[in-house]
A and B are shown apart, each in its own frame.
Chain A
């Protein structure tokens, strides 16, 4: 299990980090929330075949997020109003 644990934690960290590449508020928040919820949902999975499958899919998602985050960063120029209002901009 611990064999996959390190890999899973690295993937998780990288996914959360990739969310920050998105300058568009709503995409950034979604990538963060979706990654977090996927890891919470699957944290008790013990079947090694299933874990490998999840890791593979997670890595595929990470590559997409990194590519699209880079593209988004080049085209997103404006902030949504609540990003400028500290009272609302904290992550939930």
Chain B
């Protein structure tokens, strides 16, 4: 007994044993869904989750002042990454809330004078759904199509602008196919026609260089967990000059210049700030890493199994997002077979349904290819060995599934699959 006690006090720290004994974790290749919190980010947050718990809005004591100082520093770090002014940064709970605030906020504020919004068919669900909500409120929305590359047609975009267009919302990097829109050109067109320009940059900030001034961006959405920060925090950049005005969607104590009431979660904002500062130092290094691994993955799969199609224009794509369609097999059966790899057939919010992705359909992908697509997300913490593993697994399972596929058999016999009349169902 004595020795037991001695032992337990000697081992001052006991690890958490809850998950011990579980099977191995799959290789994580779903960087567009979320990313691990960078240990450097966690390091910056812990003081604010332990000792420095003050409410950043408390004006009467040191607890509050310390938290406020930390929140202000985070604001500077975020602004620094996108070349904005710290006063232009509004903290939110994530890119979903930032997008909602931008779209609904601008549309509702200017509703008396202007009532038209332009967006694209390949936006994230939270932008499309906010637009649907606004349509119910009497706002006109144009949903621009995209070319096969995934890019919008700039001429078509300019033509869609009307005298009563108040806002254009076009994402920077697409979350399913990684395509990067021509943000600078879009910004120029918007400025020329005095239309506010919002971009959902959840997948872009920290991954590719963004400068809200050079690109004439008026509103920009950021998500914490996509850039190795914590979940549950994000930011909205709102330009001060020329001033963009918003009607807040959350009412309360008037924090964040009245645009987002509620106590600012200081630990989360500190984490987001640290993530942004790390990204401003590391983005070139991270980009090269993603590019190298992405090239290796695509080349490896191409040479070992063939008959794949990369969705979206590879020239205008962030390399850490690789969306491939595998001919002759169902994406779902491949996903099932690749259970030791954490990947998805598209965005996390639609991955529960068996519907082919609306983004791929907007590109005009053939239904069968849209059904057989898989998204590989490569990030800061992906290793080369993981890519080797993934290529080997893909080779094994794609070949196995094709062997079982009647389509593959027909193809091998020289039957042109595009001439087959598929029955309607």
Contact = CB atoms under 8 A, between A and B. Distances in A.
Contacts of A80: 24-28, 386
A75 B39 CA distance: 12
B350 to A, nearest CB: 26
Contact of B22 (A71, A73, A78, A82): A78
Q: Which of B18, B25, B386 has the most CB of A within 10 A?
A: B25
Contact of A64 (B26, B39, B382): B39
Interface in B331-359: 340
A82 to B, nearest CB: 5
B39 A77 contact: no
Nearest to B42: A68
A67 B43 contact: yes
A83 B24 contact: yes
Nearest to B340: A81
A61 B19 CA distance: 29
Interface in A56-90: 61, 64-65, 67-69, 71-75, 77-85, 88-90
B285 interface: yes
Contacts of B18: 77
Contact of B39 (A33, A65, A91, A92): A65
A78 B39 contact: no
B381 A26 contact: yes
The dominant DSSP class at the A interface is: helix
A90 B42 contact: no
Q: How large is the interface on A (under 10, 10 to 19, 20 to 34, 35 or more residues)?
A: 35 or more
A30 B381 contact: yes
Nearest to A64: B43
A63 B278 CA distance: 16
A72 B381 CA distance: 15
B385 interface: yes
A37 interface: yes
A61 B43 CA distance: 11
Interface in A24-67: 24-27, 29-31, 33-34, 37, 61, 64-65, 67
B296 to A, nearest CB: 11
Given A61-B40, A77-B18, 17 more contacts: A22-B39, A26-B28, A27-B39, A27-B381, A64-B43, A68-B39, A71-B39, A74-B16, A77-B16, A77-B19, A78-B22, A80-B28, A80-B386, A81-B389, A88-B385, A88-B386, A89-B385
| Nearest 8 pairs of A and B residues by beta carbon | A68-B39, A26-B381, A81-B24, A77-B19, A92-B384, A88-B385, A74-B15, A29-B383
